[in-house]
Amino acid sequence: MSSEEQTSLQEQQFMQKINAEEKIEPKDWMPEKYRKNLIRQISQHAHSEVIGMQPEGNFLTRAPSLRRKAILLSKIQDEAGHGLYLYSAAETLGISRDEMIEALQSGRAKYASIFNYPALTWGDMGAIGWLVDGAAIVNQVSLQRTSYGPYARGMIRICKEESFHQRQGYDIMLTLANGTSEQKAMAQDSLNRFYWPALMMFGPHDSESAHSAKSMEWKIKRETNDDLRQKFIDQTASQIEFLGLEHPDKELKWNEERGHYDSGEIDWEEFHNVIAGNGHCNRQRLEHHIKAHEEGAWVREALVAYNAKKQAKQAEVA
Amino acid sequence: MSDTIKDATIEYAIRLGDDANVLGHRISEWVSRGPFLEEDIAYANVALDYIGRARMFYGYASELTNDGRTEDDFAYMRDDRQYRNLLLMELPKEDFAYSQVRQLFIDIYYSLFLPELVKSKDDTLAAIAAKAIKETRYHLRRSRDWVLRLGDGTEESHRRTQRAVDSLWGYTHEMFELDDTEQLLADSGIGVDITQLRDEWHRQVSAILTEATLNIPEDGWAVRGGRIGYHTENLGHLLTEMQFVHRSYPGCQW
């Protein structure tokens, strides 16, 4: 058999597995583009968890009650943990964490654009948990069925924790919305600023999405951007109503025939602008990450040196 | 419980709550700033333990005062002159070596203090201590490992760690001093006689520093005052940040 014939046979077997809803595992053969596509998506997801610690970390030291501070700490701890699983999942595809971090810091790899919006008030801790984690869950629930085994299993674990994050965010909003008029205004302001960026988290319209078609065929992605976004719009409408806040989308209207809400158009210019690196916090987020990484260099070097000394001592004894 | 003992116990719970609250705040400043991701997780975890401890101690103070003040009133509505934490807790986070050396000093301190507090005749204090011991065991394993690695790592890590030991040493003395309030509680079997723990603390710290190839500083320089509200200039800034949102919207639920 020629190598071309062999590749095409492997590709057939690979597609058969995908079509039979079997998981692809690290040692299985996979097309190079499938591998690259997954590395891009999983590392982007890992980076999002890690960069996402910054806007919330920004309010840890100002949390207005000890109870809220404890919850926020626990949430951020989960996020760092998610970052770890996801980096590990990506490593099974033959890339190292160092390489992924380098790609993040040089701007080649992306993270969720939502974190390029500033967290300005305590209300934003509510809006981020409720809307940002909420949008992430809608996407991640569908990714529990993604075709790559380590990613799918990671998602199952992550989803359980994310739903706690969303509930705590909504609980902050509920407390604010039922609080003083100033607190209610704080909640409304946070909702207004985070609603549209949360919708943008689902990515461009399906017709515009660069990676969508192939990702759907390979079952990396299980539902389209627009379908997932619609789910989120539908579930959020009643939650906003329950809070007694004004909906930021003035065109939102129930469509009986479709069984969904119709909504106003997203500001795609803003979307592309933030992705291109021109959002409020793009530079700040990367600089923060690079600074921490550089300041930690001597610690990582010490660790290596200490372990080497220890090994040398053990070798001497043996 | 006599009024004198009760007042002393309230003061004690507030002191221990302040220690945990202020240190938890400092540790939380590391989140997203660690040398690698695993350390961010560890920092968040340790900070969470301390905030949890602060809530338990303040919660007990609130129960005993029974005047409507909540845990948050103790944390958010007192100024630096009213705070009673040890000075060591409020010092800035500085670099990784500084934070780990501070943590080592504190972890060894608690690993001696908490097993004594577990024997307290006050059931609530004993129960809080029992929970905290488990956390401290894990904290100590981490800070001990780090001080060994950093002290005996590279030239730079050694220099930074020695500098941290030298700057922090003067703040460790007040950990082992008893005032009348704590003497009364120690005599009544409620509080811990911390003067009895000093030699063992010194022995354990010295053993680790020596193994880490670090020098043990001379005892000449000592700073004290945390327990009477005579703080370093750092605490005011820390509280300004901590209390800003809470105080900007008085009387709100969060």
pLDDT tens-digit readout, B119-172: 999 999 999 999 999 999 999 999 999 999 999 999 999 999 999 999 999 999
Q: Does A277 touch chain B (CB under 8 A)?
A: no
Residue B51 lies in a domain: yes
Measured between its terminal Cα atoms, the distance across chain A in Å is 52
Residue B104 lies in a domain: yes
Q: Which two tokens stand for residue A275?
A: 């992705």
Categorize the per-residue pLDDT at A213 as very low, low, confident or very high, splitting at 50, 70 and 90.
Answer: confident
CA distance A31 to A29: 7
Considering only residues B173 and A316, tell me which one the structure prediction assigns the higher pLDDT: B173
What is the number of structural domains in chain B? 1
Does the distance separating the beta carbons of A54 and B249 come in below 8 Å? no
Categorize the per-residue pLDDT at A317 as very low, low, confident or very high, splitting at 50, 70 and 90.
Answer: confident
CA distance B182 to A130: 46
Q: Which two tokens stand for residue A123?
A: 């209300």
Selection from B83, B86, B88 nearest residue B101 by Cα: B88
Note whether A82 and A161 are within 8 A (CB): yes
Residue A212 has pLDDT above 90, yes or no: no
Q: What percent of chain A has pLDDT over 70?
A: 100
Q: How far is CA A90 from the centre of its chain?
A: 14
Amino acid code (one letter) for A253: K
Give B82-125 pLDDT, tens digit per residue: 999 999 999 999 999 999 999 999 999 999 999 999 999 999 99
Residue B90 lies in a domain: yes
Given this model, what pLDDT does residue B183 score?
98
Query: Containing H/E element for A42?
Result: helix A32-51
Does the distance separating the beta carbons of A84 and B41 come in below 8 Å? yes
- Residues from chain A contacting residue B48 (CB–CB below 8 Å): 70, 73-74, 77
Supply the DSSP string of A151-174, one letter for each residue. HHHHHHHHHHHHHHHHHHHHHHHH
CA distance A183 to A205: 35
Q: Does B94 touch chain A (CB under 8 A)?
A: no
Domain ranges of chain A: 31-278
Does the distance separating the beta carbons of A80 and B40 come in below 8 Å? yes
User: CA-based diameter of chain A, in Å?
Assistant: 79
Mutate to test the interface with A, among B31, B69, B103 (most CBs of A within 10 A): B31
- Kindly report the CATH number assigned to the domain that includes residue B16: 1.20.1260.10
Categorize the per-residue pLDDT at A163 as very low, low, confident or very high, splitting at 50, 70 and 90.
Answer: confident
A contact residues 49-88, partner B, Cβ 8 Å cutoff: 50, 53-54, 57, 60-70, 73-74, 76-77, 80-81, 83-84, 87
Given this model, what pLDDT does residue A278 score?
93
Give A238-279 pLDDT, tens digit per residue: 999 999 999 999 999 999 999 999 999 999 999 999 999 999
Query: Containing H/E element for A12?
Result: helix A3-19
Q: Which two tokens stand for residue A56?
A: 């919330």
Rounded to two decimals, what is the model's pTM?
0.96
CA distance B53 to B47: 10
Shortest Cα–Cα distance, A8 to chain B (Å) = 41
Strands (E), chain B: none
Pick A302's closest partner by Cβ from B34, B45, B149: B149
Q: Report the 10 Å Cβ neighbour count for A252.
A: 15
CA distance B167 to B134: 29
ipTM of the complex: 0.96
Does the distance separating the beta carbons of A122 and B245 come in below 8 Å? yes
Residue B20 lies in a domain: yes
Given this model, what pLDDT does residue A228 score?
96
B contact residues 138-157, partner A, Cβ 8 Å cutoff: 148-150, 152-154, 156-157
Q: Round the average pLDDT of chain B to a whole number and report it.
A: 97
Give B213-252 pLDDT, tens digit per residue: 999 999 889 999 999 999 999 999 999 999 999 999 999 9
CA distance B98 to B159: 11
Supply the DSSP string of A62-117, one letter for each residue. T-SSHHHHHHHHHHHHHHHHHHHHHHHHHHTTT--HHHHHHHHHTTSS---GGGGS
Query: Containing H/E element for A254?
Result: strand A253-255
Residue B254 lies in a domain: no
The dihedral sign for the CA sequence B229, B234, B237, B243: negative
Taking domain A31-278, whether its CATH number is 1.20.1260.10 is answered by yes
Give B49-76 pLDDT, tens digit per residue: 999 999 999 999 999 999 999 999 999 9
Poorest-confidence range of A187-201, A210-224, B96-110, B200-214? A210-224
The boundaries of the domain holding residue B113 are 3-248
Residue B202 lies in a domain: yes
Given this model, what pLDDT does residue B68 score?
95
Supply the DSSP string of B140-191, one letter for each residue. HHHHHHHHHHHHTS-HHHHHHHHHHHHHHHTTSGGGG---HHHHHHHHTTSS
Q: Does B21 touch chain A (CB under 8 A)?
A: yes
Note whether B73 and B14 are within 8 A (CB): no
Residue B215 lies in a domain: yes
